[in-house]
Amino acid sequence: GQRELRDQSYPFQNMPCLPLQESLKQTSLYDFHRHHGGKMVAFAGWSLPVQYTHSHLESHLHTRQHCSLFDVSHMLQTKVFGRDRIKFIESLVVGDIAELKPNQGTLSLFTNERGGIMDDLIVTSTSDQHLYVVSNAGCRDKDFALMKNKVKEMKAAGCDVDLEVSDNALLALQGPAMARVLQAGVSDSLAKLPFMTSAVMSVFGVPGCRVTRCGYTGEDGVEISVPASRAVELAELLLKDSTVWLAGLAARDSLRLEAGLCLYGNDIDESTTPVEASLIWTLGKRRRAAMDFPGASIILAQIKEKPKRKRVGLTSSGPPIRQHMPILSPEGKAIGEVTSGCPSPCLQKNIAMGYVESDYSKLSTALTVEVRKKSCPALVTKMPFVATNYYTVK
């Protein structure tokens, strides 16, 4: 296990990451990454750092113990304006967006008419009369087309709604030291900014930054939407605190897996429903009653009848569990497949998630995973694997 954890070549098994090719998009921090020793790889059409000078293991543990800075500018950031903006977004997602308080956000899902997940996204209802939406880079074209077509359709019906793509950079500062580090650069108390809320503020003298208390690591953290022309300046200012290390896609992947968070394209996609993916909590109560989101009849029928398969967490010792490995019942029958897996730096055992037939989805069910033609014992385990530390105000 330890040798595996130290092995620099393993980190990135879950994300579809390729050697650099021509015509990759670059974030405004591309030269900054190179300057700081970032090892660049292709991810979702972008050139992004997989790691820097520290090993993946060191970077992962540093985020859990202190804090790390990630460039997530590849994510699609959109703003939705107009009187009918709530009606617009609720015609595409499963969540209750109308009930959000000013500057409160929620994780939601775009679904299709078959109940499949088209993407996961965070929607914030800002106090500035617009919705702020952050969705995945890999679904950028699909998401934008979906939203643009809906705007066109609603405008034709006389609705008031407009869409704007933000070209801001997006920096994620994640880890238990985040609040101390960031507080030095903002005037308002971060104690007043709980998990999944957002505010516009000046950060270390860079005005007009939208700071949202969220992230993809399971730790307390923020994502800072910053004008692209000042992103490098802000990153350098954050790095002035020696607690802050730069982190890349490798650590981001193992951190989110320990936190039990889905990666779109691996753990959820258009063939999985919110019910199968154990994401029923994203369905707004009012929305369920009204059955007025795409795929509602299929999704609600699945809640009633129980789906055929479910996303579960798995733990094991021995060789690492990887995406696409078959999951078998104790009798050796194929009952599902691993969708993400890696050795957990914090737990020093293998963690994974995947889909199994619902009969086998109960916690502590003993299963096996087929690793290179060998059967390795695995246990259905509650997620998150590592306790999350979000900053919530009681």
Binding site per annotation, positions for substrate:
223
List Cα–Cα distances, 156 to 82, 152, 153, 159, 161, in angstroms.
Answer: 14, 6, 5, 7, 11
How far from each other are the two terminal CA atoms of the chain, in whole angstroms? 39
Question: Using an 8 Å Cβ cutoff, are 339 and 266 in contact?
Answer: yes
Query: What order do you get walking across the sheet with 39-43 strand by strand?
Result: 17-18, 39-43, 46-51, 25-26
* 249, burial (CB in 10 Å: exposed 0-12, middle 13-18, buried 19+): buried
CB atoms within 10 A of CB 364: 8
Looking at residue 101, the DSSP 8-state letter turns out to be P
Reduced to 3 states, what is the DSSP secondary structure of residue 69? Answer: strand
Reduced to 3 states, what is the DSSP secondary structure of residue 153? Answer: helix
Q: Which tokens hold the place of 46? A: 């972008």
Nearest-Å Rg of the Cα atoms of the chain is 21
Q: Which tokens hold the place of 166? A: 């933000």
Query: At residue 161, what is the residue type?
Result: V
Count of alpha carbons within 13 angstroms of residue 211, beta-carbon side: 28
For 112, phi and psi rounded to 5 degrees?
Answer: -105, 180
Listed residue (104, 28, 41) closest to 250, CA to CA: 41
**Which residues define the annotated binding site?**
223
Element (H, E) at 360: none
Any idea which residue has 């077509």 for tokens?
A: 149
Q: Which tokens hold the place of 378? A: 């695995």
